[in-house]
Amino acid sequence: MDMSSMPKTKLLLEQIGGLVRFSGQFVFMGRQNRYELKEFLVQCYTIGYLSFGLVGLTGFIMGLVLTMQLEPALARYGVAAELPGMVAIAIIREVGPVLTALVFAGKIGSSIGAELGSMKATEQIDAMEVSGTNPFKYLVATRVIAAMLMLPLLTILSDAICLGGSFIGINATSVISLRLFSQKVLAELSFNDLLPAIIKTFFFGFAVSMIGCYKGFTSSNGTRGVGNSANSAVVLSSVVIFLIDLIAVQVTNLLHLN
């Protein structure tokens, strides 16, 4: 083994161990009765409502582009009539949840990492501890729980807007009524398509917010470390999103086989 890779491997294992330990603190905090309700509501507004515009725009464009890309290929094989159902399956199962999570990671993961990193650099977190406020419960628990609740809602809204973009894309080259489009979409979808897709968004939200908080809390090197925290939070969150999605697909396939 190349000895030069040993420090990188050690650093990676330290990061994983630190993140697992940090996540364990969140689980422990969940057993306590007192919650920061006001801060939680603020984070729901910041994480959920203020992210809707970007998520909605991205979903609309993706639905439009996906439809325009698939339509010529399906028309070539004479199955263009199946386009609404195929697009709906792709959006509900994979495109909607994963795309929304990635946009969420880019906006919220970096924001949390930068915000907490700047608080760490200016010693605001230390000041909270001195004043008797639990910074983990006030800063981390509120953001993680808010992200776990808001990302599934954002995904559902994004899916709906994405299907709206698909409807407009189909009508750009042909004519189909909204009622017929809806019937074709619902005919191809089932509860088994929707439930796993929504469940994995809870894990996406947990991963993105937890990684952002961890990077912010462990930020170093002053203000320079703030940018590094935001950047690494986005990169690591994106990788973890794909890993969670891979595991979710395997678990879903095993359940369907049984």
Average pLDDT in the chain: 85
Nearest-angstrom CA–CA distance, 197 and 240: 16
Counting Cα atoms < 13 Å in the Cβ hemisphere of 117 gives 26
For residue 255, CA distances in Å to 152, 184, 188, 196, 237 come to 22, 26, 19, 11, 27
Determine the pLDDT at residue 31.
Answer: 54
Q: Which SS3 state, helix, strand or coil, does residue 32 take?
A: coil
Angle at 249 between CA 248 and CA 250, to 5 degrees: 90
Comparing C-alpha atoms, which of 53, 104, 140 is closest to residue 237?
Answer: 104
- The mean pLDDT value for 86-107 works out to 93
Determine the pLDDT at residue 4.
Answer: 46
Task: Kindly report, residue by residue over 11-63, the tens digit of the pLDDT.
Answer: 667 777 877 888 787 777 655 556 678 889 999 999 999 999 999 999 999 99
Instruction: Give the percent of the chain with pLDDT over 70.
Output: 90
Determine the pLDDT at residue 148.
Answer: 94
Model confidence at 191, pLDDT cuts 50, 70, 90, reads confident
Task: Kindly report, residue by residue over 192-240, the tens digit of the pLDDT.
Answer: 888 889 999 999 999 999 999 988 888 877 677 788 888 888 999 999 9
Please provide the DSSP assignment of 190-249 as one string.
-HHHHHHHHHHHHHHHHHHHHHHHHHHHT--SHHHHHHHHHHHHHHHHHHHHHHHHHHHH
Domain range summary for the chain, segments of one domain joined by +: 35-257
- The mean pLDDT value for 65-73 works out to 89
- The mean pLDDT value for 56-74 works out to 91
The structure's pTM equals 0.88
Alpha-carbon 54 to chain mean position:
13
- The mean pLDDT value for 102-129 works out to 87
Determine the pLDDT at residue 79.
Answer: 81
